Amino acid sequence: MRRFDLTLPRTVDDCVKILSDRGDDAKLVAGGTDLLPQLKNGLLKPRYVVDLSGVETLRAIRVANGSGLRLGAAVTARAIETEPHILSAYPALAESGALVGSLQIRNLATVGGNLCNAAPSADMAPPLLALDAEAVIVGPRGERRVPLTTFFLGVRKTVLAADELLVELVVPAPGPRSGGQYLRHTPRRELDIAVVGVASQLTLTDGVCRKAAIALASVAPTPVRAVAAERALTGQAVTPELIERAAELAVDAARPISDQRGSADFRRHLVKVLTRRTLTTALERARAARQEA
Amino acid sequence: MSTIMKTTRDVRGVGLAIPRADGAEKVTGRVEYVADIKRKGLLHAKLLRSPHAHARIVRIDTAKARALPGVRAVLTATDIPELKRKAPTRAHAVLAIDRVVFAGQPVAAVAADELAIAEEALDLIDVEYQVLPAAVDPLQSMQPGAPPVADAGTEADTSEALAHSAVAMAKGETRRADAPEPTKAVNVSQTAHVKRGDVAKGFAESDVVIEHTYRVPMVHQGYLEPHAVLAEWDRTGHLTLWASTQGSFNTRSEVADVLGVDENRITVIPVECGGGFGGKIRALCEPITAVLARATGRPVRYVMTRREELEAGMPAPQVIIRLKTGVKRDGTLMALEAETVLESGAFSGAVLAVSAVFLGSLYRWPAFDIKGSEVLTHKPSVAAYRAPVAPQTIFAIDSQMEALARALGLDPVEFRARHLSHPGEPMVNNQPWASHGGHEVLASAAGHRFWKERAAWKASAPAGRVRGTGLSLGGWLGGLQPTGATVKLNPDGTVSVLTGQVDIAGTNIALAQIAASAYGVDFEKVRITTGDTDVAPVTGLSAGSKTVYTVGVAVMQAAQDARRQTLEVAAGELEAAVEDLDIVDGRVVVRGMPDRGVTLTQIGRKGNLYMSKVQPILGSARTAFTQQAPAFASEIARIELDPDTGEVTLHGFVVVQDAGRAINPLGVEGQMQGGAVQSLGIALTEQLAYDDQGRLTNPSLLDYRKLTAADLPNIETIIVEVPSPSGPFGARGVGEPPIVPAPAAIANAVEDAAAVRITECPLTPERIAMKLAGRPAGKS
Amino acid sequence: MAKQVLSCTINDEPVEVLIQPYSTLLDALREDLGLTGPKEGCGTGDCGACTVHLDGQPVASCLVLAMQARNRNVRTIEGLAKGALHPLQDAFVRHGAPQCGFCIPGVLMAAAALLEANPRPTEEEIRYGIAGNLCRCTGYTKIVAAIAEAATLTSEGARA
């Protein structure tokens, strides 16, 4: 790793000030699990690194107004994996946190870092996309909210300006009779990265699908929603045949490349398999969910 | 008084399952590896490496790098007068002179006060390359007109290397590629050809002929500790190297040769080695680190990053085998034809002979025609990896035997057993097979519950999954190397053994047990010391499954020599004949007269007493024997397969292996389990994946996938003992055999589960799923 | 690029040391504090050889900047036991678990964290508990057996 200066802000305002001054030549570090490998490989050579680990507010998990979830950007994957409320109300999100790297990585990696690094394979992106989460961004011009569906611009590119930082994710409650699952395919059981990841979230009313969301990782420059598949499900009774149809439509939303992790053909094949499986489980979980506000 | 006297046979030694002596040091993190060693004034080294697989170096400008504060030296080839224009081996190509022949080849070296400064210095070195076409696929590289890798008069000249690496099959059967002609295949650096009988006739008379091409890509040995070396010169021009190496004497010789220094002006201290598996035999980092230390006048340490290891290490070769076999309907073997291509990277050095031996000699083929070629490409050159070329070769021949058995409707184990060579029968080089336990191993495997219950396992598959079982048989021919050892009796009656062999595989405890049993004391009284190249007898490599086999014999003989000397001294004291003496509980006693004895302490003290006439006891032995001891292993994989994703789940795995005589069963089990998991890595997940420009696309452990504990079941082990006539107490080498069988076992299991035969490793989920998805509609 | 003062607790001792701001925790432990137990196997969090406890949780210390450990609690293999071997260490020795030994400090720290959180793990939980630690020599079987045995010993001891 090359040399750099390190600042240790205590508040979000401190961070904003540093970024306004140093912006282009500075990088934020939270868990470091994406940044440090990039520094060591020489992909990034910032003069300044800003350590977020001293900003306590970024680590908060709040259940807002009794419904919905507010996740500080520096909440770790391990916290997301184990937090009881997330496990019960947002199982797809908990599952995605549980899959990041290894335990030694999950104790460091943050949801904010996962999203801001914006790799197409970011595990925590699909469930958050499927849950219609919003990003809360703070900069010198104040605070703004961006739906996660428009947060990602390309490979390793987000809407964040050089002088902004992500502070929180706001996740609306999925509502009663809702269920979701995140599955990904990897060659190994741990220490791996998604070849394809799929999150499905289904919300039912009187047995009919009121809302469907399917989000895909690793099959496009950014994580994407499979909109045509979602439309096919909305307003319908969800049968295995309809799930199969949605799985096929999900493949159309994928624009995968072939790289050393997988060929485009295999990725398309997996989109279908994992969409089918996550929709099936999402349906089971939706049916089993208790009526709760 | 009637006491039952213990004899030497009853000492606690050979055969005990006891932990290594250094266990407590390892579990407390106290053992030092090279990167843990501190020296005063230590500098840190970094190497600038070529991004191109083949290019001319037009210009290198190091001025800005040299000016960076904290940088103590920046070297290019022009700064190293010893460099040979014709580098006979990769170790000689310390820094590229005017051409690079693989992506990752070092072109400049920096030593600085801090690693971070050294890295910044690399950024400041300006290199202008003229990129040249690269030969990156071995089958294309073999064709006439391919971009040449070796170029007479510059690096990657392999003419001398051939003399070292070509293994003569028999006279005239291995040839070097001579001066290239325009129409000749310039990158074929070795060829070999063995035949017997008439294969054309054999195929014509066969009822079933099966032909497949098997392919196993380059893989990395995967040791956890990257290459590391610390070099320091003293003021007399003597070089000390603290090295992570499998052979301190080999390292010393190579460094001496590369730098033109006498071997006795170099001390190599073999520091605890964090894994080698063949990848730390040849010199790699030592010469350049020594040169940096000389240039700066300070100790310099170089530790490879993981990325450098994967991009510019010395991996196992890619092996491609086209295999055609013919049999009669009743299972009689008729003919075998094979073409093997070994991709050696930029320098020659693959071992062709092993492949031909296993292809043609493992089973009794009446007619065979086996051709082998070593091909150069613009990739990092290869080195050994635990049973070099054997896993890949067994993948081919064992998969083929399984396919033949299935095609004929014969039991796959009986088919192998029927045709497996027996000791005494000729190998492809017409040498007879040495004594081996292949049949016993196969019989034992066939009796394991995984094999016997395979039909029930297959039938038990849950909905949406399939299950299968695969068995395979392989092994290793055994290694040989001359070596020496000394054994001395201490004044307190304890015993000290000195060898030069690096204790990689827990061999030290086995050697202590051998010394204990050969001398006549309990192993707790024996201490093994691994000496550096100044103090130890010349010793061979800790590799090739030959450590216990060869060093064990040297230790055994040295201990026997020390015992003889001890008894001679005691015979004088006790006025008895040597033949009547025995060593019991630390005393030399006359058999049948337990009261007449002298303690080992007394004998030891006398050998160290002022004015004493008794010599100190010092046993020594030098060995160089030629008889190999082949060792066989069979592995069975019990799997479940998800046909939609291609994921294989291992529900059970067993290694059955002939150890000859398990000197330390605990250590032998550890070797079997570790080797089996490396074998499974080759089978399921590991490959060095290069793009069409010869650049590695997976230079991290995220994408170079070694199996984790969560991917594996317990590895069961069954030790079979068919003693070797030449090994110590009958022992055979145990390190190599277990890495051999798993790729074939997995391919056989996948065929059992899903009725597809995959002939390319690794059997990744993608490979399996896409093969299944390509099948005609209607199949399950 | 001025050095910074890192104040934290390491193996139950208060520590104050001057380090480079671009040091990782692994670097600081090994180079500035003489604690060479944690190893660098890959530098990118993919092998577990650098595993230490940060506030009781196992982390890849090669990915933690040293200053991120300020005012926090760090435990390395050197601090796993005082004097006598920890039951895990003892079980590893008796089972013949260490071979080359390079992965062992990291594996032991991961295993110790596992048993703290889950004193009676199943075999699968043990395997997942050390899944972030690569070992090339052993095939993991004896490591898993040693952890399982240590779990029975420590939980029995706790009940006693």
Domain at A5-54, CATH class = alpha beta
Closest alpha carbon within chain A to C43: A37
- Bond before B762 cis per omega within 30 degrees: yes
Q: How far apart are CA A95 and CA B231, in angstroms?
A: 49
A191/B119 CB distance under 8 A: no
Contacts for B604 with CB less than 8 Å, ≥ 6 apart: B489, B490, B491, B492, B493, B616, B617
Structural contact between residues A284 and A179, judged by C-beta atoms closer than 8 angstroms? yes
Say whether B610 sits in a helix, a strand or coil: coil
The residues that bridge with A142 in the sheet, in sequence order, are: A139
At which residue do the structure tokens 């000030």 appear?
A17
Q: Do A6 and C57 touch (CB under 8 A)?
A: no
Residue C70, token pair as written in the block: 């300020």
Coil vs helix vs strand at B306: helix
pLDDT of B617 higher than 50: yes
- Host H or E run for residue B256: helix B248-259
- Nearest chain A CA: its distance from C84 CA (Å): 27
Q: Tell me the pLDDT tens digit for each residue of B184-237.
A: 688 999 899 999 999 999 999 999 999 999 999 999 999 999 999 999 999 999
- Mean pLDDT, rounded, for B263-277: 96
**Which pLDDT does position B155 carry in this prediction?**
67
Q: Strand, coil or helix: what is B229?
A: strand
> Do the Cβ atoms of B702 and A190 come within 8 Å?
no
Which residues of B fall within a CB distance of 8 Å from A45?
Answer: 123
Whether residue C75 sits in one domain with residue C9: yes
Final residue in a domain of this structure, among C45, C79, C113:
C79
| CATH superfamily label, A178-287 | CO dehydrogenase flavoprotein, C-terminal domain (3.30.390.50)
> Which residue from B120, B701, B764 is facing A187, i.e. has the nearest CB?
B764
Window 685-704 of B, Cβ < 8 Å to C: 700-702
- Contact residues on chain C for B715, CB-CB shorter than 8 A: 139-141
User: Residue B479: how many CA atoms within 13 Å on its side-chain side?
Assistant: 25
Contact of A128 with A148, CB cutoff 8 Å: yes
CA distance B512 to chain A (A): 39
Region B739-763 average pLDDT: 98
Contacts of the segment B406-410: beta carbons below 8 A, 24+ positions apart? B406/B751, B407/B208, B407/B210, B408/B208, B408/B327, B408/B329, B408/B331, B410/B331
Whether the per-residue pLDDT at C89 is higher than 50: the answer is yes
DSSP codes of every residue in chain C? ---EEEEEEETTEEEEEEE-TT-BHHHIIIIIS----S--SSSSSSS-TTEEEETTEEEEGGGSBGGGGTTSEEE-GGGS-SSSPPHHHHHHHHHT--SS-SSHHHHHHHHHHHHHH-SS--HHHHHHHTTT---SSS-SHHHHHHHHHHHHHHHHHHH-
pLDDT at B165: 42
Final residue of a structural domain among C79, C108, C136: C79
Whether the CB-CB separation of B712 and B653 falls below 8 Å is answered with: yes
In angstroms, rounded to a whole number, what is the distance separating the alpha carbons of residues B220 and B438? 28
C77: amino acid identity, one letter: I
Q: Is the minimum CB–CB distance between C3 and chain A shorter than 8 Å?
A: no
Best of A195, A196, A251, A260 to substitute, by most chain B Cβ atoms within 10 angstroms, is: A260
Q: What tokens were used for B568?
A: 């001679």
Taking residues C43-47, report their average pLDDT. Answer: 98
* Chains adjacent to B (≥3 CB pairs closer than 8 angstroms): A, C
pLDDT at position A178 is 95
Residues spanned by the domain of C20: 4-79
**Is the confidence at residue B178, as pLDDT, over 90?**
no
Task: Note whether C33 and C53 are same-domain residues.
Answer: yes
Helix (H) or strand (E) holding A82: helix A77-82
Of C1, C59, C131, the CB nearest to A107: C59
| The pLDDT of residue B45 is above 70 | yes
Interface of B with C in 456-475 (CB under 8 A): none
Mean pLDDT within B387-405: 97
**What φ, ψ does residue B225 adopt, rounded to 5°?**
-90, 115
- Judging contacts by C-beta atoms under 8 Å, the chain C residues touching residue A53 are 68
C10: β partners: C13, C74
pLDDT of residue A289: 87
Are residues A273 and A256 in contact, defined by beta-carbon separation less than 8 angstroms?
A: no
Q: Which two tokens stand for residue B409?
A: 């409707």
- For residue B174, pLDDT over 50 is answered with no
Q: Which of B307, B644, B685 is facing A41, going by the closest CB pair?
A: B307
Residue of C78, C82, C140 best to disrupt the B interface, most CBs of B under 10 A:
C140
pLDDT at B776 over 60: no
* Alpha carbons B89 and B348: distance in angstroms, whole number: 8
Helices vs. strands in chain A: H and E counts, helices first: 11, 14
Name the helix (H) or strand (E) containing B769.
helix B765-773
Same domain? C57 vs C123: no
Range list of H helices, B632-689: 665-684
Topology (CATH) of A56-171? 3.30.465
Q: Does residue C24 sit at the A interface (CB-CB below 8 Å)? A: yes
CB contact B65 to C (< 8 Å): no
Residue B185: the pLDDT is 81
Nearest CA in chain A to C132: A102
Q: Contact at 8 Å (CB) between A133 and A99?
A: no
Q: Does A103 touch chain B (CB under 8 A)?
A: no
Q: Which residues contact B453 (CB under 8 A, 6 or more apart)?
A: none
Q: Mind listing the domains of chain B with CATH numbers? A: 34-132+226-273+280-312 (3.90.1170.50), 134-220+317-402 (3.30.365.10), 434-477+628-780 (3.30.365.10), 481-623 (3.30.365.10)
Q: Which amino acid is at B474?
A: G
The 10s digit of each residue's pLDDT in A152-174 is 999 999 999 999 999 999 999 99
B69 touches chain C (CB under 8 A): no
Is C91 part of the contact surface with chain A (CB cutoff 8 Å)?
A: no
The residue written with tokens 């150069």 in the block is: B376
pLDDT at B160 exceeding the cut of 80: no
Q: Binning pLDDT at 50, 70 and 90, where does residue A142 land?
A: very high
Please spell the DSSP secondary structure of B72-138, one letter per residue: EEEE-GGG-TT--SS-SSGGG-SS-SSEE-STT-EEEEEEESSHHHHHHHHHT-EEEEEE-----SH
Name the pTM for this structure. Answer: 0.95
pLDDT band at B8 (very low <50, low <70, confident <90, very high): low
Measured between beta carbons, which residues in chain A are less than 8 angstroms from residue C4? 6
> ∠B303-B309-B314 over CA atoms, to 5°?
115
Optimal mutation site among B20, B25, B28, interface C, most CBs of chain C within 10 A: B28
Q: Give the integer Cα–Cα distance in Å for B161 and B381.
A: 12
Interface contact flag, C65 A6, Cβ < 8 Å: yes
What residue of B is the nearest CA neighbor of C106?
A: B29
Split into its structural domains, chain C has a count of: 2
**Is residue A216 classed as helix, strand or coil in its secondary structure?**
strand
Q: Is the ipTM of this complex over 0.85?
A: yes
- Tokens 């800790």 belong to which residue? B542
Per-domain residue ranges for chain A?
5-54, 56-171, 178-287
Domain boundary among C24, C58, C79: C79
At C82, list the tokens: 């005082």
Q: CB–CB of C131 and A190 under 8 A?
A: yes
* pLDDT confidence of residue B9: 58
Between chains, do B689 and A260 touch, taking CB under 8 Å as contact? yes
Give yes or no for residue B359 having a pLDDT over 50. Answer: yes
User: For the segment B494-516, what is each residue's pLDDT rounded down to a tens digit?
Assistant: 999 999 988 887 889 999 999 99
Q: How far is A52 from chain B (nearest CA, A)?
A: 23
Q: Are B753 and B467 within 8 A, CB to CB? A: yes
Strand-pair partners of A196: A185
Tell me the pLDDT tens digit for each residue of B720-738: 999 999 889 999 999 999 9
* Chain C residue numbers touching A8 (CB-CB < 8 A): 67, 70
Residue C15: which CATH number?
3.10.20.30
Pair type for strands B55-61 and B71-75:
unpaired
* DSSP at A177: S
For the segment C62-77, the average pLDDT, to the nearest whole number, is 98
